[in-house]
Structure 1
Amino acid sequence: MFLSKPKTLSTHRGTFTWREGGDPDGSPLVMIHGWPESSYSWEHTGKHLKHGLRVIAPDLRGLGDSERTQGVHHYQKQALAADVISMLDELGVTDFQLVGHDWGGVVAQEVALAIPDRVQKLVIMNIAIINNLKGNMEVIDKVRSGSGKAYWYQHFQQAPGLAEAMIPGNEETWINYFVQGIVAPIPADAVAEYIRMYRIAGTPATGANYYRTFVDDAKRWATLSEHHWNIPGLYIYGNKDKVIIPEYLNHIEECFDDIQVEQVDAGHFLHEEQPEEVAGHMNRFLDTH
């Protein structure tokens, strides 16, 4: 195993879990998972990371083994970033490099907005760049011009009470629907972990809350169009993704002083379909001591 078993950490914001791997004395690398995953999503990518990196992988609120907090507002992405920062403060981690996938990529961007002087490099995978208003509007136009059927699960989870009523007892079917690899299979141990996680009481609701906050999140991001990232950035794109479509890459070079874009022959869960290739791109970008 690359990652440790989940460790529990209490901060002023709540009780969370996290995993650790790599070089204990290495340069801190914070890796934030997306939905419907947990910190375990970095297990197979981590095995291919170069020596000299200390991986710190939090379980976001409501997922993994972190607390299942009631109240939708706790799942706004700015609030989830505050959770992560509180964990890093408790662990005594000051400066670090940062990786995020899916909703974890948004949370990573919110972390970088909140404490830019502590984030040395930023890696984002298969999610919107939150200050890329121009590109994200082009995505909306493209989706509206088609059927939008790939986004059904977002509307399903936004409906009050529906996820809570229909997912319990059907966790295996629910998870397997999303994490089928498009190009290569997602490791069976990872799939089993996400099924286990979704069987924890309250998870259908807390998982759905990531989508129930989307309107409020989007209003916030619409105010960020003038923001410009001066943190060196790397965007790794699984180019077979049916939800995060290629238009999300439009204009991202206008959002960064320094951005590299790499494509991987994979779907949305690129880091689990092609862990060695994804780790290779990160190894060329990330620094060790």
Structure 2
Amino acid sequence: MADHIPPFDLTRIALSTGVELDVALAGAEDAPPLILLHGFPESHRSWRHQIVHFAKTHRVIAPDQRGYAGSSKPEGVSEYTVQKLVGDVVALADALGVDTFALAGHDWGGAGAWATALTHPDRVEKLIIANAPHPYTYQKAIYTDPDQRAATQYITAFRGPEFEAYVERKGWDAYYKENFADHVQTPIPEEERQIYLQQWQTPGAFTAMINWYRASAITIPPVDYDGPPPPAVQAFLDKPFPVLKMPVLLIWAMDDHALRPSLLDGIHSLIAKLMLVKLPGGHFVTWENHEAVTDAMDEFLNGDVTPVT
């Protein structure tokens, strides 16, 4: 059972990108900054154990990202592109007077973290990823690994125009069970369930959350696709991909139902200094293995990472 961690006080921060985010802030303002980005269908609560732990050594910054919970929910799919998400990360750091920072992300937060590190390498001192695929290996595996292609089909369903109506018919309790609780291999405290259900039902939140998927440029063929990637995808895969120079910690729970182990294939060629930690369990690793995640982050943030050879 996860430990009881009361709700954090949230600070409302207006960003230069035009949105306002509710942010959990912890630790001394002069401590090394650590930004924590949650994924779908979560909030800063995904990192609650790490917020408490790293407040002792870091300036912890854990936002509810755009579209989630009480943060701004701009209308339109185009407001949720990866470029917008990256802009929020940089703008949040700027608003808090933070120049460079360690950046951690899980799931969609990891997608934003990868993109921030790739496009703003001068701002990210260290990168921590938990069960979120690198954009190159993800797009490649969807076409080369039938297992991953099958596992990705849920995104096509999420992108459908009637998805919100489908969830409404199903009911929030059923959706919570099938899309979150059933994929967390440890009991979830009732208080945490209530927090998430309330956040999802905040007016405009669920459509905004789903719009992250609709805005994504990732291409997903049907499960029975058996041909080469389309020309635009092939051009993306053929283009030399920049190698990340900052140290990277990649935490991967190996039983992830949505993100298969093939997503690790070739990852060493994309990162100059990689610490790879494989854990048992499923996708929601910060819930199932929060102590192991914290231990790995501790070792990574406080030590050196040997360059990949």
Secondary structure at the aligned position of 2:59 is classed as strand
Q: Number of residue pairs matched?
A: 283
- Between the aligned partners of 1:50 and 1:84, the Cα distance in structure 2 is 19
Tell me which residue corresponds to 2:307.
Answer: none
Identity within the alignment, %: 29
Tell me which residue corresponds to 1:211.
Answer: 213
Tell me which residue corresponds to 1:42.
Answer: 47
1:187 Cα offset (Å):
4.1
Whether the 8 Å contact between 2:106 and 2:131 is mirrored in structure 1 is yes
Q: Which moves more between the two structures, 179-188 or 261-270?
A: 179-188
Q: Which runs of 5+ in 2 are unaligned?
A: 221-231, 304-309
1:152 Cα offset (Å):
4.5
Q: What code does the residue aligned with 1:46 have?
A: I
Deviation string, structure 1 residues 219-261 (Cα, Å, up to 9, x no partner): 7993764211001001000111011100011110000111111
**Which of 27, 36, 45 pairs up with 2:32?**
27
Tell me which residue corresponds to 1:140.
Answer: 143
| Cα 1:215/1:226, change in 2 over 3 Å | closer
Tell me which residue corresponds to 2:282.
Answer: 267
1:175 Cα offset (Å):
2.2
Secondary structure at the aligned position of 1:230 is classed as strand
Map 1:111-126 to 2 at 5 A.
111-126=116-131
Q: CA RMSD in A?
A: 2.6
- TM-score (norm: length of structure 1): 0.88
Whether the 8 Å contact between 1:7 and 1:18 is mirrored in structure 2 is yes
Secondary structure at the aligned position of 1:97 is classed as strand
**Which of 78, 84, 97 pairs up with 1:92?**
97
Matched, 1:11 2:15: yes
Secondary structure at the aligned position of 2:145 is classed as helix
Secondary structure at the aligned position of 1:46 is classed as helix
Secondary structure at the aligned position of 1:47 is classed as helix
Q: Which moves more between the two structures, 169-178 or 84-93?
A: 169-178
**Which of 222, 227, 232 pairs up with 2:236?**
222
1:147 Cα offset (Å):
8.0
**Which of 61, 75, 84 pairs up with 1:79?**
84
Specify the structure having the higher radius of gyration (Cα). Answer: 2
- Between the aligned partners of 1:139 and 1:147, the Cα distance in structure 2 is 5
- Between the aligned partners of 2:62 and 2:141, the Cα distance in structure 1 is 32
- TM-score (norm: length of structure 2): 0.83
- Between the aligned partners of 1:12 and 1:198, the Cα distance in structure 2 is 26
- Between the aligned partners of 1:12 and 1:146, the Cα distance in structure 2 is 37
Q: Which runs of 5+ in 1 are unaligned?
A: none
Secondary structure at the aligned position of 1:167 is classed as helix
Tell me which residue corresponds to 2:65.
Answer: 60
Tell me which residue corresponds to 1:193.
Answer: 195
